[in-house]
Structure 1
Amino acid sequence: MATRTHRHPLNATVAVACALLLGLTGCASTELSKGTGPPLGADGYTGPSVTLQYWNGFTGGDGPYMRAMVDEFNAAHKNIKVESNTLGWSDFYQRIVAAVHAGQGPDVAVMQLDNLATQAARSVIVPMEDAIQQMGFTPEDFPETLVKATTFNGHAWGVPLDSHTIGSYANTAQLAAGGVEAQATTGPAFESDLAAVQKGGVAQPFWMPNKWPAHLMFLSLLWQGGGEPYSADGLKATYNSPAGVAALTWMVDQVKGGMSPTNVAIDSQYLAFKNAETAVTWDGIWQINDLKTTAPKLKWSLAPIPKVFAKPASWANSHQFVMLAQRKPDPNKQQAGKTFIKWMVEHSSEWAGAGMIPAYAPARNSPEFKSMPQSALAGQIDNFHYMPSIPGIGDVNAQTLELAVSEAILGRQSPEQALDQQAARADDILAGNAEKFGTTDQG
């Protein structure tokens, strides 16, 4: 997919130098303001003309939707001009930390929910509870689980734009050939349907990846079984619990039982689904628009992943609007930034066109959203689970949990061995992170 390139405000020397200094909070953090500025008027921002710098990571198929919304906002607000800087997510966080601590950070940004605690601990973003109140939002406007997930050290750090989760995509023609009318809602029914589809002519109807999104599948099943990936204090990995072993064993059994080939390379399961080589795949709702554009003749349905264990649950993440710490805060820009965030959230039914589920209840209940495929998952939004607010948790997942899932699915270790080995490594990393970020309480 094409990526829109923007000029970056930091020169390479400053960016690299500051990035090398990043540790607990980065460079010059003590000079940064921690507030969101003066109250927002009833009519939003009514001051002199200002230009806001807005950073995001929407370089893929979601990019055009975000750009269209920014253009629409600019057209409706003559005294606010929003200039977007779009960076790939792989570079986004390093660059924004460097920019903020060099005193050249943006006014507003979008970050992924599982990065908020990390950026809060680095003094990159500021608490948002006052801004949220000034925008007129209440906790009831958003899913309770999502509101809780934005909290770290007693503060809310973002304003939710969306939730994005994984769902079960099914080739409806192949299901029908096996005598299956609709996607299963429970684990036993799902396994029965796979066997029927297999008899109907699809040799391996449910390819099991060993990399992305395998760990998202594992986390979903872990939560279904009542497990948690990490302890509440953020100091111990708990994904090797009996619930974790059961979850990973179920995934491995799909390979052992012949529902999936061995050694499925990254993205192969999704490409196989698009090519009608497999009947069902679990993947993110961000694939919806890709299926529409690259596989227009494929007939498919989308449903919540089945309840394999005790309760319905699925992994989810969220894009969050944040405001950045500033060396010399501009009250006008801070008010304008809150006006921008409020407008974007209230118009998030437009953002849903990118394949997302609006976090804002009125947008999620709009006729526009209810006509979209991902609305089939929105009724389960209270069963979405988000990563705990632990600084550095993304790196812990990538270095340990994802590796455990891969090793077991590839048959190199048993689920219990893989999870135990990597959980021990995770504990060491978590202890180091707690020292680096200066916190052991993520409440």
Structure 2
Amino acid sequence: MKQFESLTGKQLSRRQLLTGSALLGGGLLATSLTGCGGAAQATGVREIGFWHLLSGGDGTKMQTMIANANQANPGFKVHPTVLAWGPPYYTKLAMASAGGRPPEVAIMHASRVPGYAPGGLIEPWDLGLLAENGITPENFAPRIWEKGQQGGKVFSLALDSHPFIMFYNTDIAGKAGLLESNGQLQEVSSPEGFKAMALEMQKVTKAHGLSFGYLNLGSQMWRLFYTLYKQHGAEIVLTPGRQMEADRDAAIESLEFMASLFDDTIAAKSGDINTGIAEFVRGDSGMLFSGGWELPTMKKAKLPVDAVTIPTLYGTPASYADSHSFVLPRQLVVDEVKRKDAYKFVSDVLKGSLLWAEAGHIPAFQPVVQSPAYGQLTPQIHYANAADIIAYDPEAWFSGSGSDWQTYFAEHIQNVLLGRDKASAGWDSFVARTNDLLSRPNPV
């Protein structure tokens, strides 16, 4: 039976590899794991494979950024492969890396890196080579740069931070008397104050004050919960072989507040993410909890929309976010020329990420954020402070964007939000499920 060798020198059998990858991603195994970057074409142009999971408006912006990099670098051509978001993507990337047939570069969520770096599925970035391409640690906010590190090495380079934010309809807010003299939404600093604001907007819409679709989508429930939980100043610590460390009171209070919103007046009692967005776009609510990545949808609908970080309701500013980050999948044999091409490609995309900001993301490359051009982007500039209060997922091999852990959260918490279970019971059962995961080793 063919064996695969990790960077740690350990041998993985095909059965171990398949089992580990399935557990890590929780998705279907890839039927084809061949990267796009094959041998150099007859023209001498080197082909660079690039896997990512960006579609819709994101994907269009990324395609333009790739085209710009290709035009500026005639020696290589980046070939993107777009795969489905979530567990299937991460499973395929793990399989390709372990099997020695990955692309030269790929996108991962920063929150997923802790599950990949220890097993040698991705390789660290060379700081010297990055510096040759004009990329240094000082170009990134400290929290974002720190997140890319594991064991003192840099395993991921953030393209952005994409926070969970609050959109609001400026026409509805104005009619509700909730705008300041500068045209921006009044600040609120308590759960009661937020609900009062939502009720004022509901008087205008005659439907709901807030839209938030969550049914059957653990990521949505988790994004709002973790924002509120972190606003308590609380932490979650996930240590292998130990019980989950968390502030139970803060968790229950956050869940109870979430459930109180779904009363069919402040917000619809139930609904999925698409119905929530559609309701807001129709003008049937004044506010929407969602990701900044939904901004192109709002712009396309020509809504009178602005956006802010989710109000600080429990004392500590915090905003759930993740980062689309560049990683170097493990190569059996590194082609040094193509590796340098990958560095140049990534540096070009980072430097050109003002275009990425138009998709609603906050560029991680600070020279772009600090540019006059970025300062002219609205509403992006109104929630750019989210990069300073990022709440990344607690680190574990099983946590992060698109993970099964978020699915388990939905399994235990959805009935709480629907009013069928108590918050304490839902939280305790989720903790027990998490403790079971912590008792298992990282499968890769």
What is the TM-score when the length of structure 2 is the normalising length? 0.83
Residue 175 of structure 1 corresponds to: 173
d(CA) in 1 for partners of 2:213 and 2:241? 28
Question: 1:220 Cα shift?
Answer: 0.4
Question: 1:171 Cα shift?
Answer: 1.5
Residue 206 of structure 2 corresponds to: 202
**Cα displacement string for residues 217-243 of structure 1 (whole angstroms, at most 9, x for unaligned residues):** 111001001122333668443456211
Q: Does 1:361 align with 2:357?
A: no
Question: 1:325 Cα shift?
Answer: 1.1
Question: 1:75 Cα shift?
Answer: 1.2
Partner residue of 1:190 out of 190, 194, 198 = 194
Moved more, 137-146 or 69-78: 137-146
**Aligned positions of 1:192-341 closer than 5 A:** 192-211=196-215, 212=217, 213-231=220-238, 235-238=242-245, 241-256=248-263, 258-293=265-300, 295-296=301-302, 298-341=303-346
Residue 75 of structure 2 corresponds to: 79
| 1:261–1:238 Cα change, 3 Å | farther
d(CA) in 1 for partners of 2:144 and 2:163? 12
| 1:304–1:129 Cα change, 3 Å | same
**Cα displacement string for residues 255-305 of structure 1 (whole angstroms, at most 9, x for unaligned residues):** 248412322234222111011111111110111101112x22x21211111
Partner residue of 1:397 out of 391, 405, 408 = 405
Percentage of matched positions with identical amino acids: 25
d(CA) in 1 for partners of 2:273 and 2:70? 40
| 1:237–1:402 Cα change, 3 Å | farther
Question: 1:251 Cα shift?
Answer: 0.8
Residue 123 of structure 1 corresponds to: 120
Counterpart code for 1:127:
P
Question: 1:25 Cα shift?
Answer: 7.7
Counterpart code for 2:61:
Y
Residue 414 of structure 1 corresponds to: 422
Q: Is the 8 A contact 1:19 1:98 kept in 2?
A: no
| 1:409–1:390 Cα change, 3 Å | same
**Aligned positions of 1:127-146 closer than 5 A:** 127-128=124-125, 130=127, 131-146=129-144
Counterpart code for 1:57:
L
Q: Does 1:427 align with 2:435?
A: yes
d(CA) in 2 for partners of 1:186 and 1:423? 31
Question: 1:23 Cα shift?
Answer: 4.4
Question: 1:72 Cα shift?
Answer: 1.2
d(CA) in 2 for partners of 1:64 and 1:257? 36
Counterpart code for 1:62:
D
| 1:20–1:368 Cα change, 3 Å | farther
Partner residue of 1:346 out of 334, 339, 351 = 351
Question: 1:367 Cα shift?
Answer: 2.5
Residue 18 of structure 2 corresponds to: 22
d(CA) in 2 for partners of 1:411 and 1:225? 23
Counterpart code for 2:385:
G
Q: Is the 8 A contact 1:129 1:157 kept in 2?
A: no
d(CA) in 1 for partners of 2:115 and 2:82? 21
Counterpart code for 1:275:
R
Unaligned runs of 5+ in 1: 1-16, 27-47, 438-443
d(CA) in 2 for partners of 1:231 and 1:100? 26
Question: 1:419 Cα shift?
Answer: 0.5
Q: Is the 8 A contact 1:167 1:305 kept in 2?
A: yes
State the number of aligned residues.
397
**Cα displacement string for residues 310-363 of structure 1 (whole angstroms, at most 9, x for unaligned residues):** 111110011111112111111111111111111111111122222211001001
Q: Is the 8 A contact 2:46 2:75 kept in 1?
A: yes
Partner residue of 1:163 out of 145, 161, 164 = 161
Counterpart code for 2:187:
T
Residue 376 of structure 1 corresponds to: 382
Superposed CA RMSD? 2.4
Residue 107 of structure 2 corresponds to: 110
d(CA) in 2 for partners of 1:102 and 1:233? 26
d(CA) in 2 for partners of 1:229 and 1:406? 20
Secondary structure of the structure 1 residue equivalent to 2:415: helix
Counterpart code for 1:426:
T
